[in-house]
Structure 1
C-alpha cells in the first residue's frame, strides 16, 4: 500500500493542527522524520495486510530538540489504522513510558482530529494476584502452614503485623475499586519482599480456572489491549513476549508496527534477557525447599495417583541433581585459577572462546540431563494439578488441593526451567532457547561468536557460592529470528544510534535486516554558538596512579563561578574518593547520585539552583544518559575520563576475542565506537532546548594525545573547541 492520498492528508492535517493548537512552529528535522517513517510504513505492503517487501527496519537518529515522539506518533498512527495493525511503542525507561501515556498521546488527541485509543501494557508481575493475596491473609490468620503451602513461595520478611495491615488495605481498596491492582498505582512504594507475596507469573497463574478470574487485575488490563489502537510497552516486556513465542502478552509481531524509542538499549536488553545463570550452593538450598514441599504435599495426594508417582520421580531427580551440583562445585572450586579481589571478596573466571575444560563439560552435560528430568517431572505434576480444574474430566485430585499447590509447584517448575537454560547453554555450541519455545521458531544458523561462559566465586561472612553464567555475545541472531524476520514493520529511534558517525555498530549488534533504511535527522541547535568543548592542559593521564589526586586539585577551579555543574565519572569508587576529599571543604555544594533516589537527587539539585545557590552533581554512567536538566539547571558538564568499557566484562572480552580471531582490531571495532556513543550521550546532557548555553570540559587528555581521540572529538556535536596544549 503505497501511501494513499487520504493517509497523507490525515498526517499533514494532524501536524498542522498540533502546531496551531500548541502555538509552535514546524521544525525541519521533525518534518523530515515524519515523512521518512510514513514513507517506510507505506512501502511495507502492496496488498493491504500482508508484508510483501523483505524484512526491514527504519532507523532514525534524532537528537534532543527534534520532537521525535510527536514525529513518530503523527506519522505512524494514520498508517497503522489504515493497515489495520496495532501500533506498539516500546521504551527502555519508565519515565519515557509515563511521558508518552500521560502527556504526548493525550496532547496529540486533544490538538488533532485523529481518532485513536491507547493502553499501557505491563507484565503479570506488576499486578495484584487476588488468589495469592487471599491465601496470604488466610495463611497468616491461621498460622497453619500445613494446609496452606504458599509460605514456600516467599518467606515473609520483617514485621508480620504491618505486612498483614498492608494486605488488608489492598483487599479493601481493590474490592471497593479505589485501586486497580496495578503496583505502580498504589499510593506508596511497595517493598519488593511484600509485593512478591501477592503477585504471580505465567507459571503459577491458573488463568480461567482461578476463582478470581473475572475480577483479575491483570486480565482486566489485558481486555484494553485487544481493543487498543496503540499499546505502550517496554523493551523487557517485548523480549519476554518474544521468548514465549510472540503474541502471548502483546499483539503478534506479524500484526503489529513496532516503534522502539531509546532503541540503543535494545541489543543489551536482549543479551540480558537471553543470558542464564545458576548459583550452585543456593540451588542446593532450593532443592531442600523443594524436598520439604513434596513431603508436605504427599498427604493431600491419593495413593497410586499420577501425581503421587510424579512426586516420587521429582524426589529422586532432586537427589540426583544435588549430587551433580556438588560435583560441579568441587570441580570449579579446585580446578579454576581464581584470583580473589579481597576488597570485593569475589573472583571471576572466563572460559576463553566459551570452551570448558573436558572434565567440566562432561559434568555440565550430566547435570543438564538430570535437570531436564526434574523439569519434565515437575511439568507432569503441574499438568496433574491443572487437570483438577477441568470439570469435564474425572480428575484424581480435588480442586482445593490443586488451588493450594498449583502456584507452588508452578514456581518450582519455572525455576527449574531457568536452570535448564544454563545447563543447555553450557552443554552445547549455541545458547539454548527456552525450553517452552515453539520448536517451529528455529533460529537462523549461527554465524557469530560462541556464547560467553564464566564463573563468579563469592565469599561472605559465613557462606560461599559459585555462580555459573552464560550469555550470547551478540544479540543479532536472537533479534533477527524472533523479531525483525517476523514483525510487520519496525522503527528504531534515539538521540544516539550512530557510533563515530556510522550505523555499522548498531547494525551488527541488533542484527538489522539488509533492506533496512537509515537516517540522521539534522539538529535545530546552532551548536557552535551555544557551547564550547574544552580540553585543558593536565599532566596526568587517567591510566596514571595520581589521576584521582589531579581531579581533586582541578575540579574546584572548574566549578568556580558556575551555578550548576555535572561531573561524570566512569568509576563509582573514584567518584566517592573525590567526593570524600572535597565535600568537607565545600559543605552543601556536592551531591552524588548515591546520596538518595535519582529523582530526589535531581529535585534537590534544582531547588538549590532555584534558591540561587551553586550545586555540583557527581554521577556515573546512569547520569550520563537520560537526565534532563534544561536551562539554568545545567551549564557545565565535566567528563573526567573517556567512557571505555571495563576490560573484565566477560561478554565484551568474549566479543573482543572473536574479533581478534577473525583478524580484526577489537579496540577500534568495538571499544572506540562504544565509547563514542557513551561520550555523545554524556555531552548531550548539556543542551536540552534551543535557548540553552554552556560548556563541556574533558579532563582525559587521550582525546587529543591518541590517534583515536580525533575520531571521538569529530563524532561530538560541532561545538567551538578550546584545546590547551
Structure 2
C-alpha cells in the first residue's frame, strides 16, 4: 500500500512533536531510519488485507546513539494503524522490553498526537496460577488429601522452611490487588523451584473451565492483546507462538507487522527453541512418578470407560518406554568413547555429520514408536478428563476428579511430547528440510550426548538441534508475515549482512541499511593494541602476563571494564590481583547483575576507582554511560569455544562443501562479539574513553586486519 499523504504527515508531525517536547535535536541516522522503514512498509502490496508482494524484510543496523526505538515506533505505528494491522515489537531481553513499555511508548504518547494503545505480552510461565497456589496451600497430607497433589508433576520436594508463609503472603498480595501475578513484578526474586510450584503451562491449564478463570492473572493480561494497537513481546514468546502454528498467543503473522529489536539474537533463539533433549535416567525416574499416579487414579474412574481403558494402556506403554530407555542407555554407555577430564564430571560426544551408528539408529526408531504410543494414550486420557468440564455434555468422569487430575496428566502428556520431539529428530533422514523453495540440502541436524556423574548417580542426556534456523524462520515467519523489520546495533559481520541473511533465512527481496552513527568516534575514543610478549594461545603464560599488565592499564582510571572469554581465567586473575587491590575489583559472578552494576556505580560516585571483571554477557548487555566507564580492556579475541556441538556441526558441513570454517564462521562471529564489546564504551554523544585490546593476533594475523577494520573508526594506537 503506497503511503498516503495523511500517513506521511502523521509520521513527520509525530517526529517534530517529540523533538520539541523532549527538547532534543533531530539526528541524521534517526531520520534515515524512519524514512527507510516507512518506505519499506509503503512498498508492500496487498489485496483485501493479504500481502501479495514477495516476502521481504527491512534490516537496519543502527548503532548506539541513533535513537532507533523512537525511529521505528514513529515510522511503524501510523502505518500499522492505517493498514489495520497489529504492531508486534519483539526484544531479546526483559530490560529492553520494560524500557519500551514503561518509557519509550509513554514518552511517544505524551509528546505526540498519535493515538494508540499498547500492552505487554509474556508467556504463561511468567504468571501465577491461582489454582496451583490454592492446591499448594491445601497440599498438606500428600497421600491422603482428597484432591490429587501436584507432587507427581514436579520432583518430590521437602517442605522448605517458611514456604507456607511465603505462599500465603503471595495469595494475600494477589487477592488485595497489590500484586498482579506477574513474576517480574514481585518485589524480590522468586527462586525457580519455588515459582514452578505456583505456575502452569498450556497443557496443565483448563482455561475457561478453571474455577479461577475470572480472576486469572494470565488471562487478565491476555485481554489487553485483543484491543491493543501495539504488543510488546520477546523473541521466545514469538517463537513459542510460531511453534503452535502462529496466532495461538500473538496475532497471526499474516495480520501483523513485526519489529525485531536486538534481532542478532533471533537465529540462536530459534535454534534453542527447536532443539530437543531426553535425559535417559531422568526420564525413567519420571516414568516411576507416572506409574505412582496411574496406581492412584482408578478408584476415581468408572471401570470400562474410555478413561479407565486409557489408564491401562498408558501403564503398558510406560513399561515399554522404560525398557527401551534402558537399552538406549546401555548402548550409549558402551559404544561411545567417553572422555572425562579430571576436574569435570561430564563428558560430551557428538555424532559426526549427525549420523547415528546402526544399533543406535534402530533403538531410536524403537524409542520413537513406543513414546508416540505413550503420547497418544496420555492424550486420550487428557481429552476424557477435559470433557468433564463441559456441563452441556454427558461424560464418564465427574468434574471434581477432572479438576484434580487434569493438570497432572496434562503435565505428563506435555513431558512425553517433549521427549517424542527428540526421538523424531533422531530418526529424521538427512536433508529432509521444510525448504519450500529455500536452499535445499542444508546441514543435517546436530546430534550429541552428554554423560554426567554426581556423587550417587549418573545420567546420559541425548540432544538434537537444527544447525541453521534459516528454513524454520523462513517457512514459519518471513514467508507468512505481512511485514518485518529487524534492527540492532550489530547486524553486520565484517561489514556485511551475509551472515545474518544466511542464519536467519531472510527472503531474497529483503532490503538492508547501515545507519551512520552520530558519534564522532575519531575524537571521542582510541583503540590501543599495546606490546605483549605472550599470545592468549598459551593460557598459563597469558594469565601471568595479564596479572602483570592489568594494574598498569587501569592505573589512574576511575571506571574500567575488563572482558574475558573464559570464567576460569577471569577468576584466576581476580584471585591473584584482589589481595593487592582490596575493594576495587568486582566480578559479574559476585552477585546479581543489577547489584554488581549498582556497587560499581556507587564506588565511582564516591570517587573510588572501580574495576569490573566480566565475560560474554557483560560484553553485550550492560549500559554504563559517562563517568561510569572510561576504559574497556579486551583480554583476548572472542573466538567461540570449539566444543559447541552446533558450531562444530556447522563447521563440519562448511568443510564438506569445500569452505573454510574459520574464515566463514569463526572470524565473522568473533567480529560481531568484538563490536558489541567495544560498544560498551560510548553510550552517549558526550562520552569519551579508550579501548585496549591485549590480543596481538588482531595485528599479527591476516584475519586481524578484518576484525580491526570492522570496529568503529576510533583513533588507533598500535604498540611495537
- Contact preservation (8 Å) 1:278, 1:468: yes
Q: 1:441 to 1:208 in 2, by over 3 A?
A: farther
2:144 is aligned to 144
Distance, in Å, in 1 between the alignment partners of 2:132 and 2:537 is 54
- Contact preservation (8 Å) 2:636, 2:693: yes
2:714 is aligned to 719
1:556 is aligned to 551
1:693 is aligned to 688
Distance, in Å, in 2 between the alignment partners of 1:120 and 1:691 is 33
1:578 is aligned to 573
How far has the Cα of 1:298 moved from its partner? 1.6
Distance, in Å, in 1 between the alignment partners of 2:212 and 2:56 is 43
Give secondary structure in 2 for the equivalent of 1:369: helix
TM-score by length of 2: 0.98
How far has the Cα of 1:392 moved from its partner? 2.2
Give secondary structure in 1 for the equivalent of 2:232: strand
How far has the Cα of 1:235 moved from its partner? 0.3
1:536 is aligned to 530
1:164 is aligned to 164
Runs of 4+ in 1 over 3 A off after TM superposition: 155-161, 430-433, 440-446
How far has the Cα of 1:651 moved from its partner? 0.3
Distance, in Å, in 2 between the alignment partners of 1:441 and 1:304 is 47
Aligned pairs for 1:400-549 (under 5 A) are 400-429=400-429, 446-544=440-538, 545-549=540-544
Q: 1:649 to 1:515 in 2, by over 3 A?
A: same
How far has the Cα of 1:308 moved from its partner? 1.0
Distance, in Å, in 2 between the alignment partners of 1:299 and 1:46 is 59
* Counterpart check, 1:638 vs 2:633: yes
2:350 is aligned to 350
1:173 is aligned to 173
1:25 is aligned to 25
Distance, in Å, in 2 between the alignment partners of 1:210 and 1:430 is 44
Q: 1:613 to 1:174 in 2, by over 3 A?
A: same
How far has the Cα of 1:428 moved from its partner? 1.2
* Counterpart check, 1:587 vs 2:567: no
2:183 is aligned to 183
Q: Which runs of 5+ in 1 are unaligned?
A: 434-439
- Contact preservation (8 Å) 1:425, 1:431: no
How far has the Cα of 1:712 moved from its partner? 0.3
Give secondary structure in 2 for the equivalent of 1:629: coil
Give secondary structure in 1 for the equivalent of 2:297: helix
How far has the Cα of 1:195 moved from its partner? 1.4
How far has the Cα of 1:154 moved from its partner? 2.7
Give secondary structure in 2 for the equivalent of 1:583: helix
Aligned pairs for 1:342-421 (under 5 A) are 342-421=342-421
1:677 is aligned to 672
Distance, in Å, in 2 between the alignment partners of 1:215 and 1:333 is 50
Distance, in Å, in 2 between the alignment partners of 1:349 and 1:142 is 41
Distance, in Å, in 2 between the alignment partners of 1:57 and 1:598 is 34
* Counterpart check, 1:307 vs 2:302: no
Give secondary structure in 2 for the equivalent of 1:174: helix
Q: 1:20 to 1:225 in 2, by over 3 A?
A: same
Q: 1:442 to 1:668 in 2, by over 3 A?
A: closer
2:620 is aligned to 625
How far has the Cα of 1:42 moved from its partner? 1.1
Distance, in Å, in 2 between the alignment partners of 1:179 and 1:553 is 52
How far has the Cα of 1:160 moved from its partner? 4.5
- Contact preservation (8 Å) 2:554, 2:560: yes
- Contact preservation (8 Å) 1:153, 1:197: no
- Contact preservation (8 Å) 1:133, 1:198: yes
Q: Deviations over 1:275-323 (max 9, x none)?
A: 0000101111000000001101121111111111111111111111111
Give secondary structure in 2 for the equivalent of 1:696: strand
Q: Deviations over 1:541-565 (max 9, x none)?
A: 1101411111111111100111111
After the TM superposition, which of the residue ranges 614-623 and 148-157 deviates more from structure 2?
Answer: 148-157
After the TM superposition, which of the residue ranges 601-610 and 446-455 deviates more from structure 2?
Answer: 446-455
Distance, in Å, in 2 between the alignment partners of 1:237 and 1:589 is 40
How far has the Cα of 1:485 moved from its partner? 0.5
Residue of structure 1 aligned with 2:651, choices 653, 656, 666: 656
Distance, in Å, in 2 between the alignment partners of 1:368 and 1:523 is 53
Give secondary structure in 2 for the equivalent of 1:546: helix
Aligned pairs for 1:66-145 (under 5 A) are 66-140=66-140, 144-145=144-145
Give secondary structure in 2 for the equivalent of 1:303: coil
- Contact preservation (8 Å) 2:431, 2:441: no
Distance, in Å, in 2 between the alignment partners of 1:616 and 1:142 is 51
Distance, in Å, in 1 between the alignment partners of 2:571 and 2:178 is 44
Distance, in Å, in 2 between the alignment partners of 1:277 and 1:155 is 18
Distance, in Å, in 2 between the alignment partners of 1:368 and 1:511 is 29
Distance, in Å, in 2 between the alignment partners of 1:149 and 1:542 is 55
Distance, in Å, in 2 between the alignment partners of 1:466 and 1:72 is 47
Q: Deviations over 1:326-349 (max 9, x none)?
A: 000000001101111121111100
Distance, in Å, in 2 between the alignment partners of 1:274 and 1:446 is 19
Q: Deviations over 1:406-454 (max 9, x none)?
A: 0000000000000000001111126999xxxxxx998968531000000
- Contact preservation (8 Å) 1:628, 1:688: yes
Q: 1:431 to 1:191 in 2, by over 3 A?
A: farther
Distance, in Å, in 1 between the alignment partners of 2:156 and 2:284 is 21
Give secondary structure in 2 for the equivalent of 1:178: coil
Distance, in Å, in 2 between the alignment partners of 1:155 and 1:165 is 21
Q: 1:499 to 1:604 in 2, by over 3 A?
A: same
- Contact preservation (8 Å) 1:425, 1:432: no
- Contact preservation (8 Å) 2:242, 2:477: yes
How far has the Cα of 1:158 moved from its partner? 5.4
1:437 is aligned to none
1:436 is aligned to none
Q: Deviations over 1:32-51 (max 9, x none)?
A: 00000011011112546221
- Contact preservation (8 Å) 2:451, 2:459: yes
2:198 is aligned to 198
* Counterpart check, 1:708 vs 2:703: yes
CA RMSD after TM alignment: 1.6
How far has the Cα of 1:136 moved from its partner? 1.5
2:275 is aligned to 275
Give secondary structure in 1 for the equivalent of 2:638: coil
How far has the Cα of 1:220 moved from its partner? 1.1
- Contact preservation (8 Å) 1:569, 1:640: yes
- Contact preservation (8 Å) 1:157, 1:193: no
Give secondary structure in 1 for the equivalent of 2:319: helix
- Contact preservation (8 Å) 2:275, 2:466: yes
Distance, in Å, in 1 between the alignment partners of 2:295 and 2:146 is 10
- State how many pairs are aligned: 719
Q: Which runs of 5+ in 2 are unaligned?
A: none
2:602 is aligned to 607
How far has the Cα of 1:624 moved from its partner? 0.2
1:45 is aligned to 45
- Contact preservation (8 Å) 2:61, 2:491: yes
